[in-house]
Amino acid sequence: MVATTPASRKAKGRRFQQAVRQDLIERLGVPEGDVLSTAMGQSGCDLYLSPAARALFPYGVECKHQEAIALPAWWKQCESNASKVGLIPLLVFKRNREEPLAVLRWSDLIRLIREIRERYGFNDDHRWENLANGLTGGRP
């Protein structure tokens, strides 16, 4: 079903935004009171993160649930909002009957993988090298 009225489009977006919030709570262990879904139409990131939540999840999230993909405009909005609060921009978007996708700057993804390797002692694990080579096609 396609959202055809402004109210139904906003409701669809609000449900997606709340689903992303719920994933942070259930899958990443962010305390429920530390992440809030902002009101539709409010400026800034779509999820408000407390300082404690930012320590666990340092991303400024922009959520979009639309059929027509406008990646450059969405990314510009995401970067602008995240930079205002000192967070890493993370765009999460979804089309009907499809899995949500996330967009992250390449440098932020590399930093995240490096932090995981260092934190969990994977520095000598060549599987991470294989992953990096697969992602970059073997380019440095």
For residue range 18-52, list pLDDT tens digits in order: 999 999 999 999 999 999 999 988 899 999 999 99
Structure tokens at 105: 């700057």
pTM of the model: 0.82
Q: Are strands 59-65 and 88-94 parallel, antiparallel or unpaired?
A: parallel
Give how far the C-alpha of residue 123 lies from the chain's centroid of Cα atoms, to the nearest Å. 26
Query: Average pLDDT in the 76-84 region?
Result: 97
Pairwise CA distance, residues 9 & 65, whole Å: 9
Pairwise CA distance, residues 15 & 36, whole Å: 13
Confidence band for 116, pLDDT divided at 50, 70 and 90:
confident
Is the sign of the CA dihedral 25, 30, 31, 37 positive or negative?
negative
Pick the CATH number of 6-104 from 3.30.40, 3.40.1350, 3.20.170, 3.30.230: 3.40.1350
pLDDT for position 6: 81
Q: Are strands 101-103 and 47-49 parallel, antiparallel or unpaired?
A: unpaired
Least confident range from 76-85, 92-101, 118-127: namely 118-127
Q: Is 2 helix (H, G, I), strand (E, B) or coil?
A: coil
Confidence band for 135, pLDDT divided at 50, 70 and 90:
confident
The 3-state secondary structure of 10-29 reads: HHHHHHHHHHHHHHHHHHHC
* Long-range CB contacts (within 8 A, 24+) of 95-99: 95/65, 95/66, 95/67, 95/69, 96/1, 96/2, 96/67
